[in-house]
């Protein structure tokens, strides 16, 4: 049962939003344990300290664990206005130690390129038949690659793949005749990044089970790619904030001035 508490104004029962508040947590639920674990993680972070990437990751690895292998992410806030096309930050980079995630890759190709894709490890390869399969609602994949000659067919899937960030893009290396290389890169841990409307970028860099050295190497590879992607038209401070976090943990702030100094042109 719920702890007796005062309900919202004009309501005779507790609403859904009320039950989400701590005072409406059911007895015996796991929320108190989660809150305790989170508070323990927060206590490890010195908010007055400017962490290096390596220090932030070392701190993250000391935080209380969970029953599953948490993902580790980097969250950037950039000084850009993506509403202007010349300030969009987007790209892709291969992380040296992968992401720890199994990526299902589909390839739009035929003939010799179809054979190359299969040999490189693509999970599903096709042409018009694959387009029809996806139009029919099949979406059991995480990444797409296409040869340039089939983009006319793939274009029919724009409304399906576009909103999900799955449309092949030549700027990201996913529209290419070098199919084997593209498939191997995605399978090896290629990640894409793109600033949202507010200039934020969130990218997976691995799992908490990775060593600190592996996470640091992945993090710095991504940081360099995003710093190098700074638009020429962006003015003022480009990297405004950067945090490292695990799925169930708090964000650990990284010293952005130190990062900026590393990549000064």
- Where residue 86 sits, what CATH number does that domain have? 3.30.190.20
What is the CB neighbour count within 10 angstroms for residue 241?
15
Q: pLDDT (tens digit, 9 = 90+) per residue, 175-191?
A: 999 999 999 999 999 99
The first and second tokens of residue 82, run together, are: 């993506």
Tell me: do 166 and 130 sit in the same domain: yes
Q: pLDDT (tens digit, 9 = 90+) per residue, 116-170?
A: 999 999 999 999 999 999 999 999 999 999 999 999 999 999 999 999 989 999 9
* Closest C-alpha among 106, 119, 90, 104 to residue 145: 106
∠ CA 224-225-229, rounded to 5°: 115
* Closest C-alpha among 104, 100, 202, 200 to residue 144: 104
- Residue-level pLDDT at 33: 61
Tell me: do 227 and 161 sit in the same domain: no
Query: CB–CB of 244/227 below 8 Å?
Result: no
- Residue-level pLDDT at 66: 83
Q: Which domain covers residue 173, as residue numbers? A: 105-188
Residue 249 located in a structural domain: yes
pTM of the model: 0.78
> Which of 188, 203, 238 is the endpoint of a domain?
188
Tell me: do 91 and 221 sit in the same domain: yes
- 57 alpha-carbon distance from chain centroid: 17
Q: pLDDT (tens digit, 9 = 90+) per residue, 197-238?
A: 999 999 999 999 999 999 999 999 999 999 999 999 988 999
- Edge-to-edge strand ranges of the sheet holding 124-126: 124-126, 105-108, 143-146
Write the DSSP symbol of residue 8: P
Q: How is the chain split among helix, strand and coil, in percent rounded to 5?
A: 40, 20, 40
Tell me: do 206 and 236 sit in the same domain: yes
Tell me: do 79 and 194 sit in the same domain: yes
> Which of 172, 188, 204 is the endpoint of a domain?
188
Tell me: do 175 and 230 sit in the same domain: no
- What is the tally of structural domains in the chain? 2
Tell me: do 194 and 184 sit in the same domain: no
- We report the CATH number of the domain holding residue 139 as 3.40.50.790
How far is 224 from 156, CA to CA, in rounded Å? 35
Residues found in the chain: 265
């Amino acid at each position: 049962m719920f702890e007796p508490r005062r309900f919202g104004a004009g309501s005779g029962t507790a609403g859904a939003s009320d039950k989400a508040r701590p005072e409406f947590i059911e007895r015996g639920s796991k929320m108190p344990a989660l809150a305790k674990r989170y508070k323990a993680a927060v206590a490890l972070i010195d908010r007055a300290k400017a962490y290096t990437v390596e220090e932030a990751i070392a701190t993250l690895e000391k935080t209380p664990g969970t029953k599953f292998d948490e993902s580790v992410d980097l969250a950037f806030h950039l000084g850009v206005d993506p509403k202007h096309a010349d300030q969009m930050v987007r790209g892709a980079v291969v992380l040296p130690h992968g992401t720890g995630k199994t990526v299902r890759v589909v390839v739009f190709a035929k003939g010799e390129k179809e054979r190359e894709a299969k040999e490189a490890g693509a999970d599903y390869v096709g042409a018009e038949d694959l387009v029809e399969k996806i139009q029919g609602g099949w979406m059991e994949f995480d990444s797409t690659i296409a040869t340039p000659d089939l983009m006319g067919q793939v274009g029919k899937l724009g409304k399906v793949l576009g909103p999900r960030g799955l449309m092949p893009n030549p700027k990201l290396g996913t529209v290419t005749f070098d199919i084997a290389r593209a498939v191997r890169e995605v399978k090896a841990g290629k990640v894409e990044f793109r600033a949202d409307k507010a200039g934020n970028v969130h990218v997976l860099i691995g799992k908490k089970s990775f060593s600190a050295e592996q996470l640091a190497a992945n993090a710095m590879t991504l940081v360099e790619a995003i710093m190098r992607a700074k638009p020429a038209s962006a003015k003022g401070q480009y990297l405004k904030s950067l945090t490292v976090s695990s799925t169930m943990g708090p964000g650990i702030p990284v010293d952005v001035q130190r990062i900026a100094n590393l990549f000064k042109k």
